Amino acid sequence: MTVIAFLGAGSVVFTRELLADILSFDELRGVTLALHDIDPERLETAELIARQTASQLGATPTITADLDRRTALEGADFVINAIQVGMYPATVRDFQIPAKYGLRQTIADTLGVGGIFRALRTFPVLDGIAADMRAICPDAWLLNYTNPMAMNVAYLGAIAPDLNVAGLCHSVFWTVHDLGELLGIPHEEIDYTGAGVNHQAWLLRFEHRGESLYPRLDALLDQDLQLRRRVRMDMYRRLGYFPTETSEHSSEYVPWYLHHDAEIDRLRIPVGDYLRISAQNVDDYHATRRGLLAGEPLDLTRDATEYAPQVIHSMVTGTPRRIHANVINSGLITNLPPAYAVEVPCLVDGAGLRPEPVGDLPPQCAALNRAFVSVGELTVRAALDGDPRMVRQAAMVDPNTAATLTVDAIWDLCDELTAAHGDLLPASLRG
């Protein structure tokens, strides 16, 4: 019997989607779903979702719900990590405090001061997860969805290199899907390869029936002025390869846009957008809970299957699939630093998950990625060494932060965020 543990199961909308995908596979309809969250109400809601989803799909999983993580991990073959340490209040702090200093962010969960401090809040919990998995389910696959993806996977690679870890993100898939819609080509007819770092990978191959689709995208951009008014389109036109995360995300990973009022207007950048998204997520949670308690059915319609259910199905049944995942760079991308996390194509089947070597990225893409990676490397090292100065140094080399603030302001901002997040951060970094 396959056992799937969900950590952070109280992320109910995401949990609902994953469960619907898992239980839609005939071979997975009788799995054990071990739900865990530290919030009793959210855990109860997740259990209600699991039971309602199973009922609507006619599946017969065994469902457990535990506030104790170690209990949830017992016998696990797969561990899906979707925790958010600090939840909405911490996200608000990550936006409001930097905004006082004049620093603009859009999503703040991957890079920049928002990404740095989200990582530092998450690392202590990852320490506990890794220790528990070593003791209870050492052969299980940890499928991480929690951001900042690259920093989290790199940190796990440093503290638990013996664990099976893959970071899963839908950004490459949806980039290709949405470009296909723009060009009028079904996703399944597009051949593509993405590689780089999570939220800043690049479409190295983007083809239809053996022909590159980039000339067709170029022609569309030449005709459509409004389409050019997006960050990703602007980056693509200048760099020659399409970045695989939204314009909102991409704008805060480079030094070019967010500190210019004219660029924000030209490229229609929604500053602070994740605050709106996070507030909507809270509203969605409450609406879902009310509907469940009222006996209403769940909306289980899905546009595509998430990666974690595909990975689980492939490993359980031996069905081969090619996905994009985040793993430690062990010679996979040769002009990015080793030992950090990279996003590359991977083959998944009954033997596990095997990354495909990519070689060198185009030099301009690697140059941007190296700046991105430097922030994450310093953040991970700050936590490993317990060095508060390195937290500030990570912020100093962040492209958007460095383009906006003086070094004194960066130092002061990090001091204020450290105080605001308090004991969510490692004790060694609060000094």
How confident is the model over 125-181, as pLDDT tens digits?
Answer: 999 999 999 999 999 999 999 999 999 999 999 999 999 999 999 999 999 999 999
pLDDT of residue 302: 80
Task: Indicate the average pLDDT of the chain.
Answer: 96
Q: Count CA atoms closer than 13 A to 101's CA, side-chain side.
A: 25
Q: Using 50, 70 and 90 to split pLDDT, how confident is the model at 13?
A: confident
How confident is the model over 374-399, as pLDDT tens digits?
Answer: 999 999 999 999 999 999 999 999 99
Contact 420, 93 (CB under 8 A): yes
Active site residues: 170
Is 169 one of the annotated binding-site residues? yes
CA distance 77 to 36: 15
Contact 13, 284 (CB under 8 A): yes
146 lies in some domain: yes
232 lies in some domain: no
207 lies in some domain: no
144 lies in some domain: yes
How confident is the model over 262-295, as pLDDT tens digits?
Answer: 999 999 999 988 888 888 888 888 998 898 899 8
30 lies in some domain: yes
Q: DSSP class of residue 44? A: H
131 lies in some domain: yes
Contact 301, 56 (CB under 8 A): no
181 lies in some domain: no
Structure tokens at 422: 């308090």
Give the Cα-Cα-Cα angle 422, 418, 168 (nearest 5 degrees): 90
112 lies in some domain: yes
Domains: count for the chain: 1
Is 199 one of the annotated binding-site residues? yes
Asked if pLDDT for residue 12 goes beyond 90, the answer is no
CATH number of the domain to which 36 belongs = 3.40.50.720
Which domain covers residue 26, as residue numbers?
3-167
